[in-house]
Amino acid sequence: MKDKRNTKLALNIKAERIRKGLTQFMLAEKINVSESTISLIERALQTPSVFVVYDIANVLEIDINELFKGISF
């Protein structure tokens, strides 16, 4: 079963990536991971490390907190 927090993070990452006009491949290249890693993250099948989330936020030119929006800890 997918964790609700991970699912929300995945949705936030995907929405921001699409909003910025990037493909999964483009984002993956920019943060030096595989396209399949981005796919797994966006489907909430893999939980990204805080370092990967930080890199994603930097590439998307947003505050890292935007990716955690709507998530309760």
Question: Which residues have CB under 8 Å from 44's CB, separation 6+?
Answer: 2, 3, 6, 7, 9, 10
Domain enclosing residue 34, as ranges? 4-67
Domain count, the chain: 1
Q: Is residue 34 part of a domain?
A: yes
Q: Which DSSP string corresponds to 8-59? A: HHHHHHHHHHHHTT--HHHHHHHHT--HHHHHHHHTTSSPPPHHHHHHHHHH
CATH assignment of the domain containing 16: 1.10.260.40
Q: Is residue 72 part of a domain?
A: no
Would you state the pLDDT for residue 73? 78
Would you state the pLDDT for residue 34? 98
Q: Residues in the chain with pLDDT < 50?
A: none
Would you state the pLDDT for residue 21? 98
Residues 53 and 8: their CA atoms lie apart, in Å, by 13
